[in-house]
Amino acid sequence: MYAEEVAVMAGRIRDEDIALVRERTAIADVISEVVTLKSAGGGNLKGLCPFHDEKSPSFNVSPARNVFYCFGCGVGGDAIKFLMDAEHLSFVESVERLAARAGIQLRYVEDDRSAPRTRPQQGQRQRLVAAHAAAVDFYRAQLTTAGARPAREFLAGRGFDRAAAERYGCGFAPDGWDLLTKHLRQQGFTHDELVTAGLSRPARSGSLIDRFRRRLMWPIRDITGDVIGFGARKLFDDDDGPKYLNTPETPIYKKSHVLYGIDQAKREIAKQGKVVVVEGYTDVMACHLADVPTAVATCGTAFGGDHISVLRRVLFDSDERAGEIIFTFDGDAAGQKAALRAFEDDQRFVGRTFIAVSPDNMDPCELRLAKGDLAVRDLVARREPLVDFALRHVISRFDLDTVDGRVEAMRRAAPLVAKIKDREKRPEYVRKLAGDLGMEIEPVQRAVLNAAHGPQAGGAASGAPARRPGPATPAVDSPRSMVEREALKLALQEPVLAGPMFDAVEATDYQHPVHVAVRAAVAAAGGASTATGGAVWIERVRDACDDLAGQALVGELAVEPLRIDGEPDPRYVSITMARLQWSSVTGRIRDLKSKIQRVNPVSNKDEYFALFGELLSLEQHARALREQAAGGL
């Protein structure tokens, strides 16, 4: 499917350019912008798969082969494929994005059957990102004009100097109906592109006007640093709009995923293993400037499941290493509600979620202004586990001086303790809750147990979590299975080196059915000796494989390190193929011997001697293979 797409698209971007993009792209760099990668040994890297939910990393990247593969869900391919899957881009858009990264000027060829085009067809995403980049420049230049004085005053009043404004690309949307629209139209952006990007909108008259006017502008970037939208703050009293206005949903701006500041914060988030979630653009700036570089904010929406997914991949949140997520709230009711909702949302996160409530209802920006950088760092340092925060919040609504109040508070708080996934922590919280309520431990314990086994919690809480079945991979338990794997790895990873020797060994020499299927797929893909390697070859074999387990195995074997220290050479290939055949030949010898024993040498003399001759020649072949397997060529 993938290979065919290359062929179709070759009529648009030149083949050489696509090849150059592949060659110049370091897949680990591309992927590590979205997924935190750690060494997996053998020069490979691993991380949490962005394509399926998992707790321990099965997503592998092989920088040497420029391919990735997930052992959990079977997704794999090259850097182009990764962008297509991870960012929902088309093939052309992925190539364009990687080309821009690598500084490669793409050349487009006209499809001779189609009508001549006035300009090369570019991917939509690249056009929309380019329009945003031009808009950032426009707004930034406007910030120095006389009309932008309220914007400059707003920034200065929040403690942000010129350098800070520049670092975050702050700008000003001027007073005028269509200044940006005209500017971008002059730069060649079409009516449709500006509307699709959310930068302009059609007026009642039918002409196009700017979406943002007379506002302080923050460019919103995706995790890779591309500007995909804007946040705009009201500056003037006669502006009837809301305090903050954001880019609407567009093909590149999805507010459920967007985290303001993630492009600047991601490295520190990965390094420190923690992320601080704040509420606004100025809070992110204030935190970063106060040396809390892990701060991000949602843009015009509550923190939700998609944000968690984005963060978990950066945090490398897994059993091996727990990531910490810290919500800051300015102590108002809305913030508390959001914190409690976070508790409901993602149980996997509960034990690692902390709440930092700032004193005097100040947000981090106000806190920095009033009390300095140290106070912001202190706010984050004084975080409290979400469970403690939630219990305190629930209990605070009841009058604990009365028996009724205490009992009711216990009833409401018990389900929260019952929800704590980490069972070992429950007794600790039972004791704490009893202490807070001023009650004996025993009734509190009973209430928690009832809540845990009550009708609502019943099945889901007590049953074991559903495990996703892994791909049906042959166990690497026997020497024969191991050598078959090794041969297939050589064909997939080193076809130029191993191709001729690999192709010379028949599929019948493989024993395991899945290995047979992959060996057959290599032949169906044209044979290993015809391949030049890389992700395209692996895709070709995968496409040629009609066995599902075989397809998964192809991706797995494409990244699994070879069982040799250093680079494989012809000698290693020869040894591997000889061992493989030797296993097969000795199996046949065994079968033959048993057959010969069943043949009567007197009455079936001819058959007996034929089989005996075959046995002798097989034994001779086996000896030769054993010598070859021992290292002689």
* Nearest residue (CB) to Zn ion, 68 versus 329: 68
Kindly state the smallest distance separating residue 267's Cβ from Zn ion, in Å.
Answer: 24
Note whether 169 and 219 are within 8 A (CB).
Answer: yes
The tokens describing 61, both together, are 């990247």
Instruction: State the alpha helices, DSSP H only, in 78-123.
Output: 79-87, 91-102
Kindly tell me which of 60 and 628 has the beta carbon lying closer to Zn ion: 60
Give the other-Cβ count within 10 Å of 128's Cβ. Answer: 25
Checking DSSP bridges between strand 200-202 and strand 208-210, what pairing results, if any?
Answer: antiparallel
Q: Identify each DSSP E strand in 5-101 by its residue range.
A: 38-41, 44-47, 59-62, 67-70, 76-77
Q: In this complex, which beta carbon is closest to Zn ion, that of residue 74 or of residue 219?
A: 74
| Token code pair at residue 104 | 């490669």
The amino acid present at 494, given as its one-letter code, is E
Q: How far is the CB of 465 from Zn ion (least distance, A)?
A: 17
The nearest distance, CB 417 to Zn ion, in angstroms, is: 34
C-alpha of 220 from chain center: 20
Nearer to Zn ion, 73 or 365 (CB): 73
HSE-CB of 16 using CA atoms within 13 angstroms: 4
- Looking only at the bridges linking them, the beta strands covering 295-298 and 274-278 are parallel
Strand partners, 41: 44
Residue 84: CB minimum distance to Zn ion, A: 15
CB 58, min distance to Zn ion, A: 6
Phi–psi pair at 627, nearest 5 degrees = -65, -45
User: Could you tell me the smallest distance in angstroms from the CB atom of residue 64 to Zn ion?
Assistant: 21
Report the chain's C-alpha Rg in angstroms.
32
Distance (Å, whole) CA 212 – CA 218: 11
What gap in Å lies between CA 77 and CA 67, rounded to an integer?
5
55/107 with CB nearer Zn ion: 55
The smaller minimum CB distance to Zn ion, of residues 49 and 452, is found at 49
Q: How far is the CB of 392 from Zn ion (least distance, A)?
A: 39
Closer Cβ to Zn ion, 70 or 497, answer by number: 70
Contacting positions for Zn ion (CB under 5 A): 49, 51-52, 70, 72-73
We find the least distance from the C-beta atom of residue 50 to Zn ion, in angstroms, to be 8
Give the CA dihedral 275, 277, 283, 287, nearest 10 degrees: -20
Q: Give the nearest distance from C-beta 51 to Zn ion in angstroms.
A: 5
Q: Cβ closer to Zn ion: 54 or 388? A: 54
Residue closer to Zn ion, measured from CB, 231 or 471: 471
How many Cβ atoms are within 10 Å of 546's Cβ, its own excluded?
11
CB nearer to Zn ion: give 273 or 555. 555
Sign of CA pseudo-dihedral 44, 45, 48, 49 = negative
Using the minimum distance from each CB to Zn ion, give the nearer residue, 69 or 189: 69
Closest CB 79 distance from Zn ion, rounded Å: 17
State both tokens at 569.
Answer: 């050479």
Q: Compute CA distances 385 → 324, 349, 414, 436, whole Å.
A: 10, 11, 17, 16
**Nearest-approach distance from CB 543 to Zn ion, in angstroms:** 19
Q: Are 126 and 29 in contact (CB under 8 A)?
A: no
Distance CA 49, CA 61 (A): 11
